[in-house]
Structure 1
């Protein structure tokens, strides 16, 4: 009896040590571990690396944190955010020529009208000088404000031509916003880097349309990345219960929400019987059940054998980093990485070629070979 108890204790201790060290082995027997680089971050919604190797982190509650030389400091003069439910300080993106022009772009839930109607998604750019945001420019503010706290969207990306893309979710108004290009919400937008409207945006000549809209019929896109091989913008978005999607974005296309979906309402009732309709795009991939995807990047490094050019997607619901394996532009399989470490909010490839992930209630971790 004593020997059995001792064995159980040893096995338990071994399991605790393995979890403590955050050591994992991939399906192709690549052994890796997750090292905590920045701790004490509640919800690090956005993550970017500055040219000097320091890290910028958007804490959802409203702090823009600079991690440099092992220390965290808060950038000053950050605009007031409406921190509610899914709203707050959200994504971050450096201008492709940041080293020259210093422009930082970020999304947040804002009430610039100073009314009592809640908030909507805003995109601002600014520069960091002496630890403070300066030259702040609002380049897009969605309207109208709403007191609903969900579906701000808010991911930001640049393409090869320097166009700025960003997402705004349907803001909890699925029956009116996503299918109407005259309304904000449920859209992917495209702007010039200064906030002006590109002349070839698909709806610039449509009377009453939001000229910044690039595609529509989206629910709540919280992942966006440019495919480095094709230059196309890929997004993923939350479905309801089931029906999370990966989509490749094309000008003027309708991605169907809520007229088509592979999901159902949270009470299991049917939203629509249709999973396809004429004139509406099919997803490249969808998840049933939902994994609650957040954050997205392509692996552009050879630090991880067999993972080159594959896609990474965070799972909030199931608490893992999803390795989406691609072949000829199609999803062929998936693998769960860093299982049970926590809700993965965003993921990036650092300038050192390593994977960095923001895990809620933990901080920023780095995946290195073990």
Structure 2
């Protein structure tokens, strides 16, 4: 079977935008990398069920930075441009689609703003609302102010936002017209730098990855109260690792038995087993076979994992044992320029 993936990238060196990468599950190989959409630093991409692709976009107008999203028709292999939503300032770090409400959400690391867009009938976007975060953390380099890095829908329909800059996870209620009202917030350990979060619906817990703390926090999630509470904290790297590391992407298998986290610096994928109570135990570390692994993702039946290394311009393919959760190297050194995001195509 041939499966296809969207690859979001930086465009600082040789990359020109959004790429498509194919996986042959029978031959067990990645192949046929192709440029399918031009954009400036499309570091994160999301595709709707209507096959509209929304990509982070950074451009320049009259010598000044503008950023936002570029919209594409994804019904054909090469993306057709539909328009942009660019405003003064830097581009967001994350984008996702809310199929139930027909909204798109972005988290802007640079400006501290969370934006809700309404999806119009033709797939284009109009701004529904924005929220400006405030506050800072103890680490001056990346916590000099608010830096929301993730905004996505919880299993029970709230918006959860991870703010790396002020060490806070926000839960928002979402109105029918896209307005956000803060419901609760979880304050992380100082310097944790919350980056992304995933929810285990079977265990009523969430797993929060901390970029700056190179850790995973296990949070009990009370849906009725809309509240997160810390129950466990683990490292994603060995205790004796003293060089720089930034934890990045986090993914939970569909059976909710195994959790995976990428490490940039230690350059690995960490595998955690999920216990009966939802708590985690580290069971494996495997090399990313490159430098600065940003994102990774499963294929359709989760028998493979595709990872991209930003600094070494390469992708790595692993097979995944569904019973043990462990990964095995299948293919490395697949050319992918400045890879940041891996998203299965609809």
Higher helix share: 1
Matches within 5 A, 1:190-201: 190-194=171-175, 195-197=179-181, 201=183
Q: Quote the Cα distance in structure 2 between the aligned partners of 1:314 and 1:41.
A: 25
- Counterpart of 1:273 in structure 2 is none
- The change in CA–CA distance for 1:312 and 1:102 in structure 2 (over 3 A counts) is same
In the alignment, which residue of structure 2 is the partner of 1:82?
89
Pick from 357, 360, 366 the counterpart of residue 310 of structure 2: 360
User: Which blocks of at least 5 consecutive residues in structure 1 are unaligned?
Assistant: 1-20, 24-30, 111-118, 171-184, 202-211, 256-280, 302-307
Q: Which residue of 1 aligns with 2:245?
A: 291
How big is each residue's C-alpha offset from its partner over 1:86-118, in whole Å with a ceiling of 9 and x where there is no partner? xx32112222xx1x53211111146xxxxxxxx
Residue 166 of structure 1 pairs with residue 161 of structure 2: yes
Asked if the contact 1:187–1:216 (Cα under 8 Å) also holds between the matched residues in 2, the reply is yes
The alignment's TM-score, normalised by the length of structure 2, stands at 0.60
Count of paired positions: 264
Aligned residue in 2 for 1:311: 259
What is the alpha-carbon distance in structure 2 between the residues aligned to residue 193 and residue 145 of structure 1?
25
Q: CA deviation at 1:247?
A: 0.5
* 1:32–1:284 Cα change, 3 Å: farther
Structure 1 pair 222–298 and aligned structure 2 pair: CA distance change class (3 A): same
Task: Kindly name which structure, 1 or 2, has the bigger radius of gyration based on alpha carbons.
Answer: 1
SS at structure 2 position matched to 1:284? strand
Q: Flag structure 2 segments of 5+ consecutive residues without an equivalent.
A: 1-20, 60-66, 221-226, 320-329, 331-346
TM (normalized to structure 1)? 0.57
Equivalence map 1:1-370=2 (5 Å):
32-35=28-31, 39=35, 44-52=42-50, 55-59=53-57, 62=67, 63-64=69-70, 66=72, 68=74, 69-74=76-81, 76-80=83-87, 82-83=89-90, 88-95=91-98, 98=99, 100-109=100-109, 119-127=111-119, 129-130=121-122, 132-134=124-126, 136-143=127-134, 150-151=142-143, 152-170=147-165, 185-194=166-175, 195-197=179-181, 201=183, 212-218=184-190, 219-239=192-212, 243-250=213-220, 251=227, 253=229, 283-287=233-237, 288=239, 289=241, 291-300=245-254, 309-320=257-268, 322-328=269-275, 329-336=279-286, 338-340=288-290, 342-349=291-298, 355=305, 357=307, 359-360=309-310, 367=317
CA root-mean-square deviation:
4.1
Change (3 A) 1:125 1:22: closer
**Contact 2:259/2:274 (8 A) holds in 1:** no
* Rounded Cα–Cα distance in structure 2 between residues aligned with 1:70 and 1:105: 25
Q: Hey, what's the Cα distance between the residues in 1 that align with 2:83 and 2:311?
A: 23
What is the Cα deviation at residue 237 of structure 1?
Answer: 0.8
The superposition leaves residues 235-270 of structure 1 with CA deviations (integer Å, 9 ceiling, x where unpaired) of: 11123xxx41101234365x7xxxxxxxxxxxxxxx
1:248–1:282 Cα change, 3 Å: closer
Counterpart-to-counterpart distance in 2, 1:215 and 1:161: 21
1:49 and 1:71, CA in 2 relative to 1: closer, same or farther beyond 3 A?
Answer: same
Does the CA contact (< 8 Å) of 2:174 and 2:181 recur in 1?
A: no
Indicate if the aligned counterparts of 1:163 and 1:191 stay in contact, CA closer than 8 A. yes
1:368 and 1:66 map into 2 onto residues whose CA distance is 30
- Residues 312 and 347 of structure 1 are in contact (CA less than 8 Å); yes or no, is this contact kept in structure 2? no
Of Structure 1 and Structure 2, which has the larger fraction of its residues in strand?
A: 2
